[in-house]
Structure 1
Amino acid sequence: MGEQAPELLKVLFPHLDQVLVDRIVRVGRSVRIVARSIAPTARCPGCGTASSRAHSRYRRRLADTAVGGQMTAIDLTVRRFFCDTAECPKRTFAEQVDQLTFRYGRRTMSLQRDLEKVALALGGQAGQRLVENLAYPVSGSTLLRLIRRLDLPPVGDVAVLGVDEFAFRRGRRFGTILIDMETHRPVDVLPDHTADTFAAWLQDRHHVQMVCRDRGGSFAQGAQRALPGVPQVADRWHILHNLAIAVEKAVRRHRTCLAPPALDPGATETGASQAPPVEDQPAPGRREQTTRARWQQIRPLFENGMTLQAISRHTGYDLTTVRRYARATSAEELIRPRRRTRTDLDLHKAHLVQRWEEGCDNAETLRNELAERGYTGSRRTVRRFLNTLGTSVLRQPPPAPAPAVPDVVHWIIGRPENQSEPAGQHLKELCTRCTHIAATCRLARGFASLLRRRDGHHLQDWLAEAEQSEITELHSFAKGLRQDLAAVTAGLTTAWNSGAVEGHVNRIKMIKRQHYGRAGFDLLRRRILLA
Structure 2
Amino acid sequence: MNIPYAIPECRVAHLVERHHDHLVVPVRLDAATGCCPECGHASRSVHSRYHRQPADLPLSTSQTKLRIEVRRFYCLNPTCRRRIFAKTPTDLLAPHARRTRRLGEAQARVGLACGGAGGARLLAHLHMPASRATVLRLVTRMPMPDTPAPIRVGIDDWAIRKGSRYGTIVVDLDRHRVVDLLPDRTAPTVAGWLERHSSVALVAWDRSTEYARGASLGAPQAQQVADRWHLLTNMRQAVERWLHGAHARLRSLPLLPGSTVRPARRNRAFARSTTELEAAAQSRMRWQVVYDEVRHRHAAGKPLLAIARALGLARATVRKYASAETFPARLPHGAGPSLLDPHVAYLAGRIDEGSENAMALWREIREQGYPGTSRQVHRFVAERRTRPVRSGRKPRSAKASASEPPGSETLLPPARQLAWLLVQPTSVLNESEAAVVSRVEQDDTARAVTGLARRFTALVRAAGKGNPVADDRDAAADIEAWITKARTCEAPAIATFASGLEADIAAVRAALMEPWSSGQAEGQVNRLKLIKRQCYGRAGLNLLKRRMVLAA
Q: Which range, TM-score by smaller chain?
A: 0.7 to 0.9
Partner letter of residue 166 of structure 1? W
Give the structure 2 partner of residue 133 of structure 1: 125
Give the structure 1 partner of residue 392 of structure 2: none
Paired with 1:245 and 1:271, the residues of 2 have a C-alpha distance of 28
Q: Residue 486 of structure 1: CA displacement?
A: 1.0
Find the partner of 2:322 among 328, 335, 343: 328
Paired with 1:333 and 1:216, the residues of 2 have a C-alpha distance of 30
Q: Residue 438 of structure 1: CA displacement?
A: 4.9
Shift of the 443–352 alpha-carbon distance from structure 1 to 2, 3 Å rule, reads farther
Partner letter of residue 298 of structure 1? V
Structure 2 residue runs without a partner (length 5+): 262-276, 387-396, 402-407, 470-474
1:343-394 per-position Cα deviation (integer Å, ceiling 9, x unaligned): 433444345445656777776786566446643345674465345445489x
Match status 1:301 vs 2:297: yes
Paired with 1:445 and 1:51, the residues of 2 have a C-alpha distance of 82
Paired with 2:313 and 2:362, the residues of 1 have a C-alpha distance of 54
Paired with 2:541 and 2:328, the residues of 1 have a C-alpha distance of 39
Report the 3-state secondary structure (helix = DSSP H, G, I; strand = E; otherwise coil) of the residue aligned with 2:311: coil
More divergent stretch after superposition (355-364 vs 302-311):
355-364
| Matching of residues 167-186 of structure 1 within 5 Å | 167-186=159-178
Paired with 2:332 and 2:117, the residues of 1 have a C-alpha distance of 45
Shift of the 443–35 alpha-carbon distance from structure 1 to 2, 3 Å rule, reads same
Give the structure 2 partner of residue 432 of structure 1: 438
**Residue-pair matches, total:** 500
Report the 3-state secondary structure (helix = DSSP H, G, I; strand = E; otherwise coil) of the residue aligned with 2:432: helix
Q: Residue 260 of structure 1: CA displacement?
A: 11
What percentage of aligned pairs have identical amino acids?
34
Q: Residue 41 of structure 1: CA displacement?
A: 5.7
Partner letter of residue 449 of structure 1? A
| Paired residues of 1:466 and 1:478 also in contact (CA < 8 A) | yes
Give the structure 1 partner of residue 546 of structure 2: 526
Give the structure 1 partner of residue 312 of structure 2: 318
Give the structure 1 partner of residue 517 of structure 2: 497
Find the partner of 2:454 among 445, 460, 474: 445
Q: Residue 191 of structure 1: CA displacement?
A: 2.4
Partner letter of residue 306 of structure 1? K
Shift of the 129–310 alpha-carbon distance from structure 1 to 2, 3 Å rule, reads closer
Find the partner of 1:38 among 30, 45, 55: 30
Shift of the 224–209 alpha-carbon distance from structure 1 to 2, 3 Å rule, reads same
Shift of the 155–386 alpha-carbon distance from structure 1 to 2, 3 Å rule, reads same
Give the structure 1 partner of residue 405 of structure 2: none
Match status 1:345 vs 2:340: yes
Match status 1:240 vs 2:240: no
Q: Residue 341 of structure 1: CA displacement?
A: 6.9
| Paired residues of 1:160 and 1:211 also in contact (CA < 8 A) | yes
Match status 1:28 vs 2:20: yes
Report the 3-state secondary structure (helix = DSSP H, G, I; strand = E; otherwise coil) of the residue aligned with 2:16: strand
Paired with 1:182 and 1:88, the residues of 2 have a C-alpha distance of 54
| Paired residues of 1:51 and 1:81 also in contact (CA < 8 A) | no
Paired with 2:317 and 2:78, the residues of 1 have a C-alpha distance of 77
Report the 3-state secondary structure (helix = DSSP H, G, I; strand = E; otherwise coil) of the residue aligned with 2:515: coil
Find the partner of 1:53 among 6, 29, 44: 44
Q: Residue 250 of structure 1: CA displacement?
A: 3.1
Report the 3-state secondary structure (helix = DSSP H, G, I; strand = E; otherwise coil) of the residue aligned with 1:233: strand
Q: Residue 495 of structure 1: CA displacement?
A: 0.4
Partner letter of residue 375 of structure 1? Y
Shift of the 34–383 alpha-carbon distance from structure 1 to 2, 3 Å rule, reads closer
| Matching of residues 388-399 of structure 1 within 5 Å | 388-389=383-384, 391=386
1:194-227 per-position Cα deviation (integer Å, ceiling 9, x unaligned): 2222222222533111111121222222221232
Shift of the 180–376 alpha-carbon distance from structure 1 to 2, 3 Å rule, reads same
Q: Residue 520 of structure 1: CA displacement?
A: 3.3
Q: Residue 439 of structure 1: CA displacement?
A: 4.4
Give the structure 2 partner of residue 408 of structure 1: 418
More divergent stretch after superposition (201-210 vs 431-440):
431-440
Give the structure 1 partner of residue 370 of structure 2: 375
TM-score w.r.t. the length of structure 1 is 0.79
Partner letter of residue 135 of structure 1? H
1:52-90 per-position Cα deviation (integer Å, ceiling 9, x unaligned): 735443321121223343221111223345778999997
| Paired residues of 1:311 and 1:322 also in contact (CA < 8 A) | no
Structure 1 residue runs without a partner (length 5+): 264-269, 274-281
Shift of the 320–356 alpha-carbon distance from structure 1 to 2, 3 Å rule, reads closer
Paired with 1:256 and 1:350, the residues of 2 have a C-alpha distance of 34
| Paired residues of 1:259 and 1:403 also in contact (CA < 8 A) | no
1:1-20 per-position Cα deviation (integer Å, ceiling 9, x unaligned): xxxx32xx1x3x23368412
Partner letter of residue 349 of structure 1? V
Find the partner of 1:215 among 192, 207, 223: 207
Q: Residue 40 of structure 1: CA displacement?
A: 4.9
1:306-351 per-position Cα deviation (integer Å, ceiling 9, x unaligned): 34687689xx733657971586311557433353574433444345
Paired with 1:127 and 1:182, the residues of 2 have a C-alpha distance of 31
Give the structure 2 partner of residue 198 of structure 1: 190
Shift of the 496–384 alpha-carbon distance from structure 1 to 2, 3 Å rule, reads closer
Report the 3-state secondary structure (helix = DSSP H, G, I; strand = E; otherwise coil) of the residue aligned with 2:15: strand
Partner letter of residue 491 of structure 1? A
Paired with 1:239 and 1:519, the residues of 2 have a C-alpha distance of 33
Shift of the 62–401 alpha-carbon distance from structure 1 to 2, 3 Å rule, reads farther
| Paired residues of 2:12 and 2:25 also in contact (CA < 8 A) | no
Q: Residue 508 of structure 1: CA displacement?
A: 2.3
| Paired residues of 1:24 and 1:31 also in contact (CA < 8 A) | yes
| Paired residues of 1:21 and 1:36 also in contact (CA < 8 A) | yes
Paired with 2:164 and 2:293, the residues of 1 have a C-alpha distance of 30
Paired with 1:177 and 1:193, the residues of 2 have a C-alpha distance of 9
Find the partner of 1:480 among 496, 500, 518: 500
Partner letter of residue 408 of structure 1? L
| Paired residues of 2:144 and 2:550 also in contact (CA < 8 A) | yes
Match status 1:70 vs 2:65: no
| Paired residues of 1:15 and 1:99 also in contact (CA < 8 A) | no
Partner letter of residue 34 of structure 1? P
Find the partner of 2:115 among 109, 118, 123: 123
Match status 1:104 vs 2:91: no
| Paired residues of 2:181 and 2:541 also in contact (CA < 8 A) | no
Paired with 2:249 and 2:431, the residues of 1 have a C-alpha distance of 15
Partner letter of residue 146 of structure 1? L
| Paired residues of 1:250 and 1:473 also in contact (CA < 8 A) | yes
Paired with 1:88 and 1:328, the residues of 2 have a C-alpha distance of 84
| Paired residues of 1:42 and 1:96 also in contact (CA < 8 A) | no
